[in-house]
Amino acid sequence: MAEPVGGNDPHASLDAGMRHFYKKLSEATPPGAETWPLDQQRAAWNALCQSFQAPLPESVVVSDITCNGVPCRFYRPKDAKSALPGVIYGHGGGWVLGGPATHNDMCAELSAATNTAVLLIDYRLAPENPFPAQLEDSLKVWRWAREHGPAHGIDANNLIAAGDSAGGQMSVALAMALQELSLPQLQGLVLIYPVLGADMTTPSYIRNANAPCLTRDEMGFYLRSFLGPEGSAAWHDPKAAPNLAGDVSYLPPTFITVAAHDPLRDDGVIFAEKLKLAGVPVGLREEPVLAHSYMRARHHSAPAMEGFRAIARALQSLAEGRGPAA
């Protein structure tokens, strides 16, 4: 995960407060880390993420539960007196890395900031479990929230899917699957620097090929791990690559945030335009001085913290039925 240096640095406008984060990232996972054995990749990523963990808000109760056989970490404000909107959260990590240990503080802070009950899915990882394993796990958690959520203080009629990076794809795939199955639709989507396509020739992939935190080569590894060999059926499935979808008019109101220094920037912009043309309420926010995974640097960078707060505002707005906010 390269950190560009030198006078010709195309990412010179990156927020200075994030450079410490990206320096540690590049030290822990240097260029070519995607070729390491999976156990080594996962251990390095878990250790790095935990080194940036912030103390959990005291106002949130955290517990590990199982939702229809899928392990989840559950976050709920302790003083809530009534059922809260539920957030089904897909963590990032290229479908290959990550889990509750890497996203614990972020989800706890989101729960506290938005007064929502968050279910962080510990979904099966690729390449051992390629697409559609992650979608299957998301559907199981959605079904659990609909059936058993009220007993855990979740409003089963007010469920939102949210996720960062690979979790963004998972969120859209869940909404698409609910439509296909004629099941009640989500109240909203929150897509945080999401992967929404498999086209690595977009301008942002070219411009940010060696960006900090996520490179084009790394993204290629993640896509192949998730979708299988290039050209196989999953590469052409809109649930796996939502930017391939035709009709998206049935999707719920959606908030998308992208970062200018991210290969995935155009994925989110393209999808936002697709939603807009289909008449779906959509809010798009671009962070001009941030890169992929900026939420993790929120306590080290003022722009990253403001980006995190914008995500929380949008999530709360959707939960309250006021639509997305950019």
Residue 190, phi-psi category: left (phi > 0), alpha (psi -120 to 50), beta (remainder): beta
Tokens 């614990």, located at residue: 104
- 236 annotated active-site: no
Cα separation of 37 and 248, whole Å? Answer: 38
- 292 annotated active-site: yes
Catalytic residue, from 91, 225, 292, 317: name it: 292
- 103 annotated active-site: no
Listed residue (164, 118, 125) closest to 141, CA to CA:
118
Contact 111, 117 (CB under 8 A): yes
Q: Centre a 10 Å sphere on the Cβ of residue 191 and count the other Cβ atoms it contains.
A: 33
Catalytic residue, from 137, 164, 237, 262: name it: 262
Cα separation of 110 and 215, whole Å? Answer: 27
Cα separation of 99 and 122, whole Å? Answer: 5
Q: Which run of H or of E encompasses 154?
A: strand 154-164
Catalytic residue, from 26, 138, 165, 171: name it: 165
Cα separation of 85 and 314, whole Å? Answer: 13
Rg (CA), the chain: 18
Cα separation of 256 and 325, whole Å? Answer: 9
- DSSP output for 172-231: HHHHHHHHHTT-PPPSEEEEES------TTSHHHHHTTT-SS--HHHHHHHHHHHH-STT
Contact 11, 262 (CB under 8 A): no
Q: Which run of H or of E encompasses 312?
A: helix 302-319
| Catalytically annotated residues | 165, 262, 292
